[in-house]
Amino acid sequence: MPLAGSFVKLEVLPKAIYNKQLAEVDFYETFFAGCTIWANELEKIVESAQRLASDFGINAIDALHVAAAISINSDELITTEKPGKPMHRVTQIKVISIYQ
């Protein structure tokens, strides 16, 4: 079941649109249209991200991604962040890098 957060959509879709990468835009729009669960509780997510950033030394957008995933009870978060990055210190969710 596809899960998503608005932060991911904001991070990937506008750049593809701006650069006129139509195949990529189509891929993202298709993916996001199929997502059945969205992390939408913004205030809760931001509060959680603040704690995560403080506890684990995570940068702002990564903390928001992690907090969003936690807020919808995801089992894992798949990221392009390399395994040595602070995001991987989080203990509340399994963080998996596509760079192994």
Question: Taking residues 74-100, what's their average pLDDT?
Answer: 93
Residue in 78, 92, 85 with CA at minimum distance from that of residue 4: 78
In the chain, DSSP assigns E strands to: 3-5, 37-39, 76-79, 94-97
Q: Which residue has the higher pLDDT, 79 or 99?
A: 79
Inter-residue contact 87 to 58 (CB < 8 Å): yes
Long-range interactions of 21-24: CB distance < 8 A, separation 24+: none
Q: How confident is the model at residue 99 (pLDDT cuts 50, 70, 90)?
A: confident
pLDDT above 90: residue 96: yes
The pTM (predicted TM-score) of the whole model is 0.87
What pLDDT does 4 receive?
78
Inter-residue contact 67 to 84 (CB < 8 Å): no
Inter-residue contact 4 to 39 (CB < 8 Å): yes
pLDDT above 80: residue 28: yes
